[in-house]
């Protein structure tokens, strides 16, 4: 399904090389947030020049890149400039316009391609894809119904009472708990759809979850695939709060099934790049049900621990896949717990600014602080993350509890 003009025959772009015009090997990224920033750091560490296309003058990625093209994602002149500067281009978030990726792919390798990104942008298409892939991946999504018209809403009210209680989600532009609301009754469903502006939505049956997990996969132009072990995630108000990444974080057979399903999805998409697949777990033990929640065509918050706990990070693999380099097999050398740092860490109980107690936090063994260069803290805004590594799971858990207590974080 990869819809770029470049495929397995693509010539690798080696670090430190120059093109025919004498320009240094440069990798581009659409989007200037923290994921773009960490991609830029990984590319620069290997020796690549980087270019970021992002309208925000103070974007985290734009501030650290060799080139910052400050235009809208659909601006033809900006996209043309990015294509001139770069030998290959990626994206740091799934809501970049798919047509921008298509335009760039006419002249440059683009990974992931517009087709895969387009599926992830639309929950209706995404769920249809998961359902179609169920035989290959061995897992499927939660029961759901599409609601795009009043007639479809009425059909759900008349015939799909089994989907209530459920979660009504907008088909587009929903992430971190945004664009979704829980509904218990038919009346609540009708009211919620109207309040959302009667836009295209999916109603998803609310399941009795026992856990959530995710798997990161990297797939190259030549079809080579590597993946990380499944990580167990804890969300608060729809935003990732904690990632547990260590042996025994979930039943081994369940983790193996999740990993195999994520790889299968990447292969079915003919995907190039880093892909995160998120799962719900329903039930206990090795034979619990595994339900696909959604996929992200990019590195993911739950994979940030790979920067400190693995021989290769998700961002290193993003660079490798884009440039056509060999993909090293990921190996985790330390148990890890990742704590998400939202803007609340910088605000006291009354909402006034405060300085977090970094001295006490960084005094603890195995703490790795990553701040994203965002000037203003706001409630719910992702400002950074902190990973704790150590020689064993017990010591990592102990330090994580101490950090959570010092910063007022859930754990």
* Strand partners of residue 140: 291
Give φ, ψ of 242 to 5 degrees: -140, 140
Does 207 belong to an annotated binding site? yes
Q: What is the rounded CA–CA span in Å between residue 100 and residue 80?
A: 10
Does 382 belong to an annotated binding site? no
Does 320 belong to an annotated binding site? no
Does 293 belong to an annotated binding site? yes
Give φ, ψ of 306 to 5 degrees: -65, -20
| Dihedral over Cα of 299, 301, 307, 312: its sign | negative
DSSP state of 310: B
Dihedral class, residue 350 (left if φ above 0, else alpha if ψ from -120 to 50, else beta): alpha
Three-state DSSP at 258 gives helix
Does 205 belong to an annotated binding site? yes
- What six digits make up the tokens of 322? 């884009």
Does 180 belong to an annotated binding site? yes
Q: Determine whether 358 is exposed, middle or buried from the number of CB atoms within 10 Å of its CB (0-12, 13-18, 19+).
A: middle
Query: Strands 273-282 and 289-296, how do they pair?
Result: antiparallel
Does 268 belong to an annotated binding site? no
Q: What is the rounded CA–CA span in Å between residue 350 and residue 134?
A: 48
Q: What is the rounded CA–CA span in Å between residue 78 and residue 90?
A: 15
Three-state DSSP at 360 gives helix
Does 204 belong to an annotated binding site? yes
Does 355 belong to an annotated binding site? no
| Dihedral over Cα of 339, 343, 346, 348: its sign | negative
Does 177 belong to an annotated binding site? yes
Closest CA to 51 of 35, 71, 30: 30
DSSP code string of 190-237: HHHHHHTTS--EEEEEPP--SEEEEEEEEE-TT--EEEPPPEEEEEET
Does 174 belong to an annotated binding site? yes
Does 123 belong to an annotated binding site? yes
Please tell me whether the peptide bond between 112 and the residue prior to it is cis, using omega within 30 degrees of 0. yes
Q: What is the rounded CA–CA span in Å between residue 98 and residue 124?
A: 16
Does 125 belong to an annotated binding site? no
Does 212 belong to an annotated binding site? yes
Contact 400, 409 (CB under 8 A): no
396 contact partners, CB below 8 Å, separation of at least 6 = 246, 334, 335, 336, 337, 366, 388, 389, 390
Does 178 belong to an annotated binding site? yes
The vertex-59 CA angle with 98 and 107, nearest 5°, equals 35
Binding residues for ATP are 123, 169, 174-180, 204-207, 212, 235, 293-294
Binding residues are 123, 169, 174-180, 204-207, 212, 235, 293-294
């Amino acid at each position: 399904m990869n819809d770029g003009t470049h495929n397995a025959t693509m010539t690798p772009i080696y670090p430190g090389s120059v093109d025919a015009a004498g320009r240094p090997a440069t990798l581009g990224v659409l989007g200037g947030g923290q994921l773009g920033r960490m991609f830029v750091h990984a590319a620069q560490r290997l020796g690549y020049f980087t270019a970021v296309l992002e309208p925000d003058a103070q974007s985290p990625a734009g501030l650290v890149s060799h080139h910052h093209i400050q235009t809208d994602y659909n601006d033809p002149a900006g996209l043309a400039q990015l294509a001139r500067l770069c030998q290959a281009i990626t994206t740091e978030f799934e809501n970049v316009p798919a047509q921008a990726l298509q335009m760039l792919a006419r002249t440059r390798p683009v990974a992931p391609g517009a087709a895969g990104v387009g599926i992830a942008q639309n929950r209706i298409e995404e769920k249809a894809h998961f359902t179609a892939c169920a035989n290959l991946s061995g897992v499927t999504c939660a029961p759901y119904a599409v609601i795009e018209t009043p007639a479809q809403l009425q059909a759900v009210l008349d015939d799909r009472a089994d989907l209530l209680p459920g979660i009504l989600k907008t088909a587009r532009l929903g992430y971190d708990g945004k664009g979704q609301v829980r509904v218990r009754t038919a009346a609540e469903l009708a009211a919620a759809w109207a309040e959302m502006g009667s836009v295209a939505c999916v109603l998803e049956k609310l399941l009795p979850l026992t856990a959530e997990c995710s798997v990161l996969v990297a797939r190259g132009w030549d079809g080579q695939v590597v993946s990380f072990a499944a990580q167990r995630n804890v969300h608060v108000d729809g935003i990732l709060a904690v990632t547990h990444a260590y042996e025994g974080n979930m039943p081994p057979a369940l983790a193996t099934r999740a990993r195999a399903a994520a790889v299968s999805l990447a292969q079915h998409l003919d995907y190039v790049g880093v892909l995160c697949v998120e799962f719900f777990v329903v039930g206990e033990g090795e034979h619990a049900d595994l339900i696909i929640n959604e996929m992200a065509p990019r590195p993911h918050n739950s994979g940030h621990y790979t920067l400190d706990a693995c021989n290769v990070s998700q961002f290193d693999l993003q660079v490798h896949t884009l440039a056509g380099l060999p993909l090293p097999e990921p190996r985790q050398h330390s148990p890890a717990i990742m704590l998400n740092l939202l803007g609340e860490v910088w605000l006291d109980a009354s909402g006034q600014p405060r300085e977090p107690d970094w001295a006490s936090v960084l005094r603890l063994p195995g703490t790795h602080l990553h701040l994203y260069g965002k000037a203003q803290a706001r409630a719910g805004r992702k400002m950074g993350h902190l990973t704790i590594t150590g020689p064993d799971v017990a010591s990592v858990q102990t330090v994580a509890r101490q950090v959570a207590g010092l910063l007022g974080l859930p754990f």
